[in-house]
Amino acid sequence: MKRFSFFSLASPFVLAQEWSESAKNEAATIQDLTVIVQRILNIAVRLAGIAAFIMLIVGGFQFLTAGGDPKKTQAAGSTITFAIFGLVAVIAAWFILLFIEKFTGVKVTEFNIGISQ
């Protein structure tokens, strides 16, 4: 798999060009939108996991430095609670999509434009 820089995330055209399933020296086409959306969703899921982990660390640090202050302890507890809730929500959304896919046969976890040449 080809490595990419952080700045390549800024432009969908760069994403389409790097991961194009068509010829490497041709311009990006509308069919490359499938690849772009899949990459963006993969990146979004990873960023959600990283954000939840960072918020758990921040909440833990707030809890450790609260010094017995009830307001700071409550704020730290709510930070940890919301981080866990966000992570559970992302995982639950993914499992709901897999559940729909399993029982209906519709590929909801894949993005396909359906344009044929």
How do residues 9-42 score in pLDDT, each as one tens digit? 444 544 544 554 554 667 767 667 767 777 787 7
Residue 42 domain-assigned? yes
In a domain, 57, yes or no: yes
Q: Of 53, 40, 57, which is closest to residue 4 (Cα–Cα)?
A: 40
Domain span holding position 32: 11-104
Output 90 or 31, whichever has higher pLDDT.
90
Cα–Cα dist 74/33, whole Å: 45
Q: Classify residue 62: in a domain, yes or no.
A: yes
pTM here? 0.60
- What average pLDDT score do residues 60-66 get? 93
- pLDDT above 60 for 50: yes
